[in-house]
Amino acid sequence: MRLFKKNISQTNLPDKAANGIANGILQSQRWFANNLDGLTKKWKQKQQWFFLMGVCLIFGGLSITAIVNSFQQSTNSKVVVPKAISIPKPIPNNVSPYLITEEEFRQVQKYKQQYPNLIKERPGLFDSLTLIEQSYYSQKSK
């Protein structure tokens, strides 16, 4: 019989996810490098140089195209236009001085009488109802 439970440390989920993503990227890079090495192992140095220049031209050209396109403004761009802000109307001054009315107070008491086991079944609701009653009593005492 164990008196004390083993303290299980919880691993940090974001760190675990980041490590998994990083390991996946490294594995795919290693796989690509190994396959490319096997493909170009028998090539002469001049062939490897031409292949390298071709790859640089293709990816360099795509990068330059992406940069240039980001600075060009398209004619059919969707511009976000903000909507006008509506100003709320003032609250009328004929508001009752009591925040909790007698009718609401009676409803709370009636509800507590209907459900006597409320403190066991729904303790959060019971606490809220008690808070409403306390606020009502504090309003009356002022």
Provide the token pair at 48: 């490897």
pLDDT of amino acid 91 = 65
Q: Which residues contact 118 (CB under 8 A, 6 or more apart)?
A: 112, 125, 126, 129
Q: Is residue 28 pLDDT above 90, yes or no?
A: yes
Whether the full predicted model's pTM is greater than 0.75, yes or no, is: no
pLDDT in tens, 82-136: 778 887 777 666 556 667 888 888 998 898 888 888 888 888 888 888 888 888 8
Task: State how far the Cα of 133 lies from the Cα of 105, in Å rounded to an integer.
Answer: 7
pLDDT in tens, 54-83: 999 999 999 999 999 888 876 666 667 777
Q: Could you tell me the CA-to-CA distances from 48 to 34, 42, 56, 57, 142 in Å, in that order?
A: 15, 10, 12, 14, 90
